[in-house]
Amino acid sequence: MPEPFTTDRDILFLCVANSARSQMAEGLARKLFGARIAVQSAGSEPSQVNPYAIEVMREVGVDLTTHRSKSVETIDPATVGTVITLCAEEVCPLFLGEARRLHWALPDPASKDPSLSRDEMLARFRATRDQIQGRLEVLDALLDVPEGPGPEEFHASVRVKNLARSTRFYSWLLGAPPKEWTHRYSTFITPALRTNFVLVVADGKDLHHDTLYHLGVGVADKAAVLRAHALARSAGVTVTKPPRTTWRGTPLHELWLEDPDGTLVEVYARLTPEELAAMPADLEPTPLTEPR
């Protein structure tokens, strides 16, 4: 059983320049945690605190004017219990030590694009600030979770329009028929599958794969994703996006299907270290093709 999330030493926020994301995270965390947790930030190539970061943080009652960009090399690893990296398109700093590691991939709101107006830059920084705030609130909620009931099984269900058609689809997807069924439901028990259960915020946006609203099954590797595509076409399953490798967030080989009710289903495989080394600079999805 996994250990509850606890921290008894500093939280360290890391990005490259220690000028925007990690500075805003440090300020927000100090305000949220107070004296409960020591908080610091640093970067691999420290510069100076971005004026836009100072301005948008002042809007939420946090003063960054006394903050200074710091090098990760000045941080004592023995004082750090949790490292949170906030890099997205850059290479995140390395940090030595036995700290818990979290990765919050957030694009850098700073930009050298001269076409961006002051209002557009402020909007970029506010969006990043608010995303960090939301993640910190979840982290705070995890620090004092009381002892739970010790579950041995997890149940999730979806509504379907045609039970027979959906039973056929999920028998195909999960590789086994239902354990039992009635005229109202079919029950699938698959002990070999690990649960990946996602909660999605109700923000009023349309629910689709870009807002994490979907079902998914993990497979072994890239070849298995390609094989799933061939099997789906052979079985007459609707393919909404053919196999590709996505690099933003968690890099994955993926394939998107639809069940008979239009619910999106992702078939995915995590990348090997060798595959990750081939990540393109623009982070745009790469189509997967069958080997010749």
More confident residue, 166 or 209: 166
Show contacts of 180-186: CB within 8 Å, 24+ apart.
185/157
Residue 279 Cα to chain centre, angstroms: 18
Round to whole Å and give the CA distance between 73 and 100.
18
For residue 29, what pLDDT is reported?
A: 97
Bridge partner list, 267: 217, 255
For residue 292, what pLDDT is reported?
A: 58
CB 258 within 8 A of CB 265: yes
Round to whole Å and give the CA distance between 219 and 131.
31
Round to whole Å and give the CA distance between 181 and 171.
12
Round to whole Å and give the CA distance between 128 and 109.
7
Angle between helices 21-33 and 118-142 (to 10 degrees): 40
- Catalytic residues, which ones? 15, 87, 92
> With 90 as the cut, is the pLDDT of residue 161 above it?
yes
For residue 213, what pLDDT is reported?
A: 67
More confident residue, 208 or 192: 192
Kindly indicate the confidence band of residue 204, based on its pLDDT and cuts at 50, 70 and 90. confident
- For 274-278, what is the mean pLDDT? 92
Residue type (1 letter), 126? R
- For 172-194, what is the mean pLDDT? 90
Tokens representing residue 37 in the block = 């947790």
Largest CA distance in the chain: 67
pLDDT tens per residue, range 130-158: 999 999 999 999 988 877 888 777 778 88
Q: What is the pTM of this model?
A: 0.78
> With 90 as the cut, is the pLDDT of residue 123 above it?
yes
Mean pLDDT value across the chain:
89
- Complete DSSP assignment for the chain: -PPP---SSEEEEEESSSSSHHHHHHHHHHHHHGGGS-EEEEESS-----HHHHHHHHTTT---TT----BGGGS-GGGEEEEEE--SSSPPPP--SS-EEEE----------TT--HHHHHHHHHHHHHHHHHHHHHHHHHTTPPP----S--------S-HHHHHHHHHHHHTS--SEE-SS-EE---TTSPP--------SSPPSGGGT-SEEEE-SSHHHHHHHHHHHHHHTPEEEEEEEEE-SSS-EEEEEEE-TT--EEEEEEEPPHHHHTT--TT---EE-----
For residue 144, what pLDDT is reported?
A: 82
pLDDT tens per residue, range 28-63: 999 999 999 999 999 999 999 999 999 999 999 999
pLDDT tens per residue, range 206-229: 766 556 667 889 999 999 999 999
Round to whole Å and give the CA distance between 24 and 179.
51
